Amino acid sequence: CFRGQVHRPAFDIYHSMVLRLIFMVLFSLPCRSGFVRGMSLRPGRLRACSIPLSIRASVAEPEVMQPPTALESEFLRTMQWRGFIHQATDMQGLDKLLSEKSVVAYLGFDATASSLHVGSLLQIMLLRHFQRCGHKPIVLVGGGTTKVGDPSGKDASRQLLTEEVIKENIAGITKVFSRFLTFGDGPTDALLVNNDEWLSPLRYLDFLRDYGRHFTINRMLNFESVKQRLERESPLSFLEFNYMILQAYDFLELSRRQQVQLQFGGSDQWGNIINGVELARRIEGSSVFGLTAPLLTTADGKKMGKTANGAVWLNEELLSPFEYWQFWRNADDADVGRFLRIFTELPAERIEELESFKGAAINEAKVILANEATRMLHGDECLGEIQQTAASLFGGKQAGGDTAALPRVQLQPDDAASGVPVIDLFISLELGKSKSEIRRLVAGGGAKLNN
């Protein structure tokens, strides 16, 4: 029909419509074809982010399962009210299991630093509630997986740590768990395990033959941690790509060793948890479950556990009890109710009462939040000194009180005699990361001298 002279604009329109139709059909098909996946995910080609939203739904992560309105188990009812639940693999099946017997569950922490920060506290509180409801929590420290590095939520590869550093970090992060959990030999006492015990002895070829065949590249490319890297054209090493397989194997190994039936994690671990659930089903024919908690952000959109001055560490040698208390005391008004539910064990009636406070009265709720959160981590003993320090700083000159809890910097006599710039002192006290940041702090009235 286009023989002879062709009206070019009409042909271009027709040609464009045909191409659009082809791509719409192609990308609306289920993503089982390697060709389709290659076009949608491989850097430098047509990526998923260029596909219309209605079509991209076919390559999305598994749908978030909202908890049913009526839950039978005490644990899930508590978690639902307090805001701990984001996703679950089979909420009804899990609810039935938890209401019928005591269940063993685990949660993993990689040893990437010498201390956990407050962003990990939600996960620790999840284990605490689990134990208080009559179940057995297992804390897994990733002595093996830390050697690989979790790519979830990262734009670049994690720095590889030596075995010596990993051991030191494990010693640092494990200090906190005994303050929130009861460890021992009882049926619901917590247990601490290290996945290096079973990961390091693995024989590579045997592992690939026995377990690698149960993972498809097609499926692995579809998980969010991988998709984000590819869409941003950030390098994803083969080492990191194996992380999800090792985490899945952890779940299988713990189901064999400790009869674990449930894995907890943050919402960024959803794909890794799904892999573990499916691996246990394929290898053992067992029914296990996964449940994730939301990754918290503050009211201003910042990641929970990070401040302008750095991470809010849980180990007191990195962050004093007073600074920890002050972090909670300075919470945004919009965050107070949510934080009271997640980071304290106050009864629901008391929390709902505090959530109703408005205006200046909300400061009372913030003090209660700070006291409760600090008590759980550092004990009652430090609260008296903290409150005296706060009164001395914010209660006026007549308030008195002790300032021993405040951060200090030691100067050599020669340095003190010759004089030290105030900006350098602020940096030494870790009240800012750079001189420009300190200058902005001073200019905004946020820093004062001899006040």
Tell me how far apart the alpha carbons of residues 124 and 120 are, in angstroms, rounded to a whole number.
7
Give the Cα-Cα-Cα angle 213, 214, 218 (nearest 5 degrees).
90
Q: How many residues does the chain have?
A: 451
Beta carbons of 270 and 224 less than 8 angstroms apart: yes
Residue 205 has pLDDT above 90, yes or no: yes
Nearest to 90 by CA among 98, 100, 82, 79: 98
Q: Look up residue 99 and give its two tokens.
A: 């209401």
Beta carbons of 340 and 369 less than 8 angstroms apart: yes
Residue 310 has pLDDT above 60, yes or no: yes
Q: Residue 220 has what pLDDT?
A: 84
Nearest to 367 by CA among 340, 334, 393, 385: 340
Q: Look up residue 128 and give its two tokens.
A: 């605490």
Q: Which residues of 157-196 are buried (b: 16+ CB within 10 A; e: fewer)?
A: ebeebeeebbeebbebbbebbeebbeeeeeebebbebbbb
Instruction: List, for residues 282-301, the tens digit of each pLDDT value.
Output: 999 999 999 999 988 888 88
For the segment 198-206, the average pLDDT, to the nearest whole number, is: 96
Beta carbons of 192 and 174 less than 8 angstroms apart: yes
Classify residue 231 by burial, with Cβ atoms within 10 Å: 0-12, 13-18, 19+: middle
Secondary structure of 102-130 as H, E, C letters: CCEEEEEEECCCCCCEHHHHHHHHHHHHH
Strand partners for 107: 139
Q: pLDDT class for 11, splitting at 50, 70, 90?
A: very low
Beta carbons of 145 and 250 less than 8 angstroms apart: yes
Q: Residue 406 has what pLDDT?
A: 61
For the segment 27-51, the average pLDDT, to the nearest whole number, is: 36
Q: pLDDT class for 410, splitting at 50, 70, 90?
A: confident
Beta carbons of 319 and 405 less than 8 angstroms apart: no
Residue 161 has pLDDT above 80, yes or no: yes
Q: Look up residue 440 and give its two tokens.
A: 């902005």
- More confident: 157 or 303: 303
Residue 60 has pLDDT above 50, yes or no: no
Q: pLDDT class for 353, splitting at 50, 70, 90?
A: very high
| Other Cβ atoms closer than 10 A to 332 | 13
Tell me how far apart the alpha carbons of residues 375 and 336 are, in angstroms, rounded to a whole number.
17
Specify whether the backbone of 103 is left (phi greater than 0), alpha (psi in -120 to 50) or beta. Answer: beta
Q: Residue 124 has what pLDDT?
A: 98
Q: Which residue has the tokens 């039936």?
A: 261
Q: pLDDT class for 34, splitting at 50, 70, 90?
A: very low
Least trusted range by pLDDT, from 50-54, 237-241, 263-267, 306-310:
50-54
Q: pLDDT class for 399, splitting at 50, 70, 90?
A: very low
Helix (H) or strand (E) holding 292: strand 289-293
Q: Kindly write down the DSSP assignment for every residue of 268-286, as one continuous string.
A: GGHHHHHHHHHHHHHHH--
Q: Which residue has the tokens 């962003």?
A: 119
Q: Residue 41 has what pLDDT?
A: 33
Q: Look up residue 312 and give its two tokens.
A: 């809010």
Instruction: Give the rounded percent of residues in the chain with a pLDDT score beyond 70.
Output: 75
Note the Cα 261 to chain centre separation in Å.
Answer: 21
96 three-class SS: helix
For the segment 259-268, the average pLDDT, to the nearest whole number, is: 96
Q: Residue 135 has what pLDDT?
A: 98
Reported in sequence order, the residue ranges of 97-219 that DSSP labels E, i.e. its strands, are 104-110, 136-142, 191-194
Instruction: List, for residues 411-444, the tens digit of each pLDDT value.
Output: 777 777 778 887 887 777 666 657 776 776 676 5
Q: Residue 228 has what pLDDT?
A: 78
Average pLDDT, the chain: 81
Q: Residue 446 has what pLDDT?
A: 57
For the segment 25-33, the average pLDDT, to the nearest whole number, is: 39
